[in-house]
Amino acid sequence: MSEASVFRRRTGPEQDFSTTLAAALKDAARGGVRFSAGGSDLEWERFNSHPFEEREEGRRDALLAFESDPVRERHPGKPDGVSRFAYFLDGVQTTEEIGRIGTVPVVMTTVAAAIVHRRDGRLRKLDVAGVPALMRALILPHDAHDPGARALYAAAESRGFPVPRSDAEAVASGAESVLLDSTQHEPHIDPADYSALKQRAYQRASSLRAAMEVALLERWAEMETGEDWIAVDGQLPVPTPNAVGLIKNARRLFFGGEEARMLLDLEAGRRTTAFVPPWRAERAKAGRAEEERASWYVRLWPSSAASEGADATSGLVRLEMDVPYSEQSATFDEVSRWLLAERAPLAKPDFRWASMIYPIHYVEKILKPTVHGGRRTRLRLEREISDLRT
């Protein structure tokens, strides 16, 4: 019997998230835990820094060039309107604080991810067995050793919230609601550091969403998809043939000096030569060859065409894929032409349209309504916490 099936049997039938959490809040309050009502939308607080961002800056010596050194501008050839991208993967989340226990935020998240298949010019959501369409989680800093947080954690667990040992296990279990420890991998965080605890909660929510995306990509890799490719929003999480990650936020540049100027002046329809991002090179040196990636930038549109408030990085997309065994430059050129062929239709009205392709925009559009129910849950739970104080 698989570990996932054991996990499912242990947790029993799924209960409604908000009802179960409301009961756990009351249990903790009866045990002496004091709650403060009111919270915030953590998405707006922009805790979405990438775990490697701090190591990216100033590490030009760790950046390895694939095609030319220094990295330079290259014309990939004129796109002919043909794209072998037929599948598109993206995920969304809402992450919200619903109250506090002293300085400890009580956080809930709703995450969803999906693959869309384009066939005969039409986009349809792909049914993928074994991966939940949507998950909700209560996130608390159990290992920060705050008595109130631990009491609510125990109350939620006793009310039936599954406690997975990892995000991958949470996704594989098929559970729709889980209980997550935001300090599982950082137990020495100060329980009085309110801002840091919110950041850790947001990162744990993002990690759950990423695990859902990885599971979808792994299932896709097992399908019979012929010569079709998949475009993944964001970094390519696991080595996957015929898959390309599309990073639409190019504000953090890997280049310095003349290379940085070249990138900002890159013409629409051009690309840079390929390189290995710094953290990939470091992992490869450590013997983790499976982490090796080729990466390069493509400019879809002139920065002047982007929305108000855009800068010189608008219209740039960084691509990431497994390193081809042969004909590397020809492969990078071809994939770049596919991406350029995806410029129409425009991904408007999204303000990021200049660095986004429409099918990825479509995935987000169909997913966002599914997670917005979490906002209604948040309001209900905030009222529950307010009632506990009366």
Which tens digits make up the pLDDT trace of 33-78?
A: 999 987 788 877 755 444 334 334 434 444 677 787 788 999 999 9
CA–CA separation, 381 vs 38, rounded Å?
Answer: 10
**pLDDT averaged over the chain?**
85
- Cα–Cα distance for residue pair 305/170, rounded to 1 Å: 42
Mean pLDDT calculated for residue range 354-380: 88
Residue (of 132, 293, 291, 129) closest to 223 by Cα position: 129
Judged on CB neighbours under 10 Å (0-12, 13-18, 19+), 208 is buried
CA distance 373 to 248: 27
Strand partners, 276: 64
The per-residue pLDDT for range 253-279, each reduced to its tens digit, is 778 888 889 999 999 999 999 988 776
DSSP three-state, residue 301 = coil
Check: CB of residue 370 under 8 Å from CB of residue 133.
yes
Q: What does the pLDDT average to over 154-168?
A: 95
8: helix, strand or coil: helix
The backbone torsions φ and ψ at residue 295, rounded to the nearest 5 degrees and listed phi first, read: -140, 145
Q: Is the pLDDT of residue 343 over 80?
A: yes
pLDDT at 8 over 50: no
- The one-letter amino acid code at 257 reads G
Span 163-202, pLDDT tens digits: 999 999 999 999 999 999 999 887 778 888 999 999 999 9
CB 248 within 8 A of CB 298: no
* pLDDT at 247 (0 to 100): 93
pTM equals: 0.88
Q: In whole angstroms, what is the distance from residue 303 CA to residue 315 CA?
A: 6
Nearest Cα to Cα of residue 234 among 243, 246, 244: 246
Q: Is the pLDDT of residue 364 over 60?
A: yes
String of DSSP letters for 366-378 = HHHHHHTHHHHHH
Percent of the chain exceeding pLDDT 90 equals 59
Task: From 358, 89, 113, 119, select the one nearest 226 (Cα to Cα).
Answer: 119
Residue ranges of domains in the chain? 1-58+92-113+125-212+371-390, 63-84+227-356
pLDDT-derived band at 385 (thresholds 50, 70, 90) equals: confident
| Spatial distance between the Cα atoms of 259 and 242, rounded to a whole number of angstroms | 29
- What pLDDT band is residue 105 in, cutting at 50, 70 and 90? very high
Residue 129's Cβ-side half-sphere holds a number of Cα atoms within 13 Å equal to 2
Is 89 within 8 Å of 230 (Cβ atoms)? Answer: yes
Going by pLDDT thresholds of 50, 70 and 90, the confidence category of residue 306 is low
Residue 131 pLDDT exceeds 50: yes
Map residue 288 onto helix, strand or coil: coil
